[in-house]
Amino acid sequence: MCGIICYCGHKQAVPILIEGLKRLEYRGYDSAGFSIVDKGKNKIVKAKGRVSRLEEKKIGLAMNSTFGIAHTRWATHGKPSEINAHPQTDCANKISVVHNGIIENYLELKKELEEKGHRFKSETDTEVIPHLIEENFDGDLEVAVLKSVERLRGTFGIAVLHADIDHQIIIVKRGSPIIVGVGKNEYFAASDSNALAPFTNKMIYLSDDEMAVLNTSGYYIKNLKNELLEKKIEVLDASEYKIDKRGFEHYMLKEIFEQPESVQNAYRGRLIESEGVSKLGGLEPVINRLKNINKLIIVSCGTSYYAGLLGRYIFENLTELNIETELASEFRYRRLKLDENVAVLAISQSGETADTLAAIKEAKRKGALLLGIVNTVGTSIAQITDAGVYNHAGPEIGVASTKIYTSQLVILTLMALLIGRYQHISFSEGSEIINALTGLPGQIREILSNAKDIKEIALKYSKYRGFLYIGRLYNYPTAMEGALKLKEISYIHAEGYPAGEMKHGPISLIDKNFPTVAIAPDDLTLDKMVSNMQEIKARNGKILSITNSATQKVLGISDDTIIVPKTIPILQPILNIIPLQLFAYYIANERGCDIDKPRNLAKSVTVE
């Protein structure tokens, strides 16, 4: 959830560190800081709030150092403040550490170190790391770091420098992402490839329990047994990491409008129309095993979990597999029978979601086939899974996911179609799905062309303090995701609910001041949805309906209606969610909310 950027080279470090931090802002944070070494002294600047505040604080300070580490913090232990911001240091202010993750045994380590005379200043778990390194330091920083991380329990990506050791930065990864960037006589490290994109496209993805040592003469990588490793350098397409708003007011709005392209990229080159089937190169290494599984468990969190919920319906429709969808944060606590005939599919936008990583590590212990859907090459989930599929959606900067969600739904459909064609799905059925998939970009453009009308409706509803979202079958998860979007960026309470369950509790909330968003497409659930809507109207509730046909059944009982194009039922939620994304965006914008960086949230959730 936090962000790390490090530099070791021949240029001034501070401008590079600040630029890297700015490119990490989308991840969510509450404070920032950096540490550089200049003439044997550790210079640290920290600020509560945005990176721009940190940039202001360093103005006028002499900072000519050519190596340093920097960090954006999302508070876990200790409130947002300058004291709790990273870097954290040791007693002598010689050792600086930035850290992503959580040290689970920090209290016992802190007590032990305090008994040895160490003085702590912050409320953070991170501060035990520099003090532990100080305790183990005897002139060799590498040895001290290795001895120290042996004592740490939990997850961490850390960067360490020492004021007495010129141009040396040590990086260690366990459960929290760290990438090494290789430039021309200069070396970088970061928690996110976006931070490195302006400086190099050559990157090395560290695996758990690996350490990288950067200096001006080069770099080397070891495991925590102090054995040298050879790691492949990945050369990334720099065009995938361009970050700009392209004239839109917010990244989120830009990303909503990018969905015709991101949906197309999700299926581009992955359809064999002449055979009515999909082709997923990332699954080919395990295709024989995939044909023989009898159960698929989808694990994910947040928006990706709602994609997984819808994925369950899609797989049940197209395959003969037994399907379960699990919140990754709860998966590891269940007693599940997993074996070689079970596949566990992890869905994660960042590829680093801590709960999802923990879930698939548990599945790996029990012998399940591990699959993944992620957007970023080389991430932890991509490394640990046996096979998977990339979104190819480009960077998503807005914290509230939009284009990745719809991309995930397309890929889930492709995966289900691939397996289903080995089972009961016919060529004609496969062709129908392919035709519907290729029609989606044009249909999404049609919805986006009506954005002004959706904005007008959103403004009518922007003063309400609570909403109920309801749907059935494929659109039950859509209701959950639509409500989540409104909650995330507008701070308005919204509850997504299966429409049939409304009468078992939520209907007590309905009155003239509590509107309902009803997702009521013209499908086999329409009559039941209309009945639920009638129940709301009988209690003076306002209704905004999302439908794909202008039937009098829906129009007659709706206060406002948004009509979207019609497609096959399993893909209809992709079209239905677009107006709900816009609805949430326009309400949040009207309320003056920080849409791209909503309070308390982070883009990449790397702590459990």
Cβ–Cβ under 8 Å, residues 57 and 69: no
Write the DSSP assignment of 238-267 as a string of letters. GGGG----TT-SSHHHHHHHTHHHHHHHHH
Q: What would the 3-class secondary structure string for 382-429 be?
A: HHHCCEEEECCCCCCCCCCCCHHHHHHHHHHHHHHHHHHHCCCCCHHH
Cβ–Cβ under 8 Å, residues 97 and 137: no
Cβ–Cβ under 8 Å, residues 479 and 496: yes
Q: Is residue 100 part of a domain?
A: yes
Q: What is the pLDDT of residue 431?
A: 97
The residue annotated as part of the active site, out of 46, 110, 487, 603, is 603
Cα atoms in the Cβ-side hemisphere of radius 13 Å centred on 525: 22
Q: Is residue 607 part of a domain?
A: no
Q: Is residue 273 part of a domain?
A: yes
Q: Please enumerate in sequence order all residues whose Cβ is within 8 A of that of 426, keeping only pairs 6 or more positions apart, or say none.
A: 276
Q: Please enumerate in sequence order all residues whose Cβ is within 8 A of that of 468, keeping only pairs 6 or more positions apart, or say none.
A: 494, 495, 497, 502, 506, 509, 510, 514, 515, 516, 517
Same domain, 275 and 227: no
Q: For residue range 292-334, what is the model confidence (pLDDT) as tens digits?
A: 999 999 999 999 999 999 999 999 999 999 999 999 989 888 8
482 vs 533: CA distance, rounded Å: 18
Spans of the chain below 70 pLDDT:
1, 27-28, 60, 62, 238-243, 602-608
Q: What is the pLDDT of residue 213?
A: 97
Same domain, 267 and 216: no
Q: Is residue 536 part of a domain?
A: yes
Cα atoms in the Cβ-side hemisphere of radius 13 Å centred on 62: 3
Q: Please enumerate in sequence order all residues whose Cβ is within 8 A of that of 361, keeping only pairs 6 or more positions apart, or say none.
A: 384
Longest dimension (CA), the chain: 80
Q: Among 241, 273, 308, which residue terminates a domain? A: 241
Same domain, 175 and 290: no
The residue annotated as part of the active site, out of 2, 6, 8, 301, is 2
Give strand pairing partners of 35.
44, 69
Same domain, 480 and 521: yes
Closest by Cα among 159, 209, 206, 167 to 185 = 167
Q: What is the pLDDT of residue 377?
A: 78
Same domain, 100 and 148: yes
- Domain ranges, residue 42: 3-241
Same domain, 482 and 576: yes
Cis amide linkage into residue 573, ω under 30° from 0: no
Token duo for residue 204: 């090395």
Same domain, 27 and 173: yes
How many structural domains compose the chain?
Answer: 3
Q: For residue range 410-469, what is the model confidence (pLDDT) as tens digits?
A: 999 999 999 999 999 999 999 999 999 999 999 999 999 999 999 999 999 999 999 999
Same domain, 256 and 289: yes
Q: Is residue 599 part of a domain?
A: no
Cβ–Cβ under 8 Å, residues 8 and 23: no
Same domain, 479 and 343: no
Buried b (16+ CB within 10 A) or exposed e, 358-390: bbbebbbeeebbbbbbbbbbbbbbbebbbbbbb
Q: Is residue 606 part of a domain?
A: no
Q: Is residue 432 part of a domain?
A: yes
CATH number of the domain bearing residue 507: 3.40.50.10490
Cβ–Cβ under 8 Å, residues 518 and 542: no
Cα separations (Å) of 331 from 87, 280, 300, 301, 360?
34, 27, 9, 11, 9
Q: Among 204, 222, 241, which residue terminates a domain? A: 241
Same domain, 415 and 269: yes
Is 2 in the active site?
A: yes
CATH number of the domain bearing residue 115: 3.60.20.10
Same domain, 474 and 327: no
603 vs 400: CA distance, rounded Å: 8
Same domain, 263 and 220: no
Q: What is the pLDDT of residue 241?
A: 55
Which position has the token pair 């046996």?
A: 386
Q: Please enumerate in sequence order all residues whose Cβ is within 8 A of that of 326, keeping only pairs 6 or more positions apart, or say none.
A: 297, 298, 299, 334, 359
Q: Is residue 111 part of a domain?
A: yes
Q: What is the pLDDT of residue 354?
A: 82
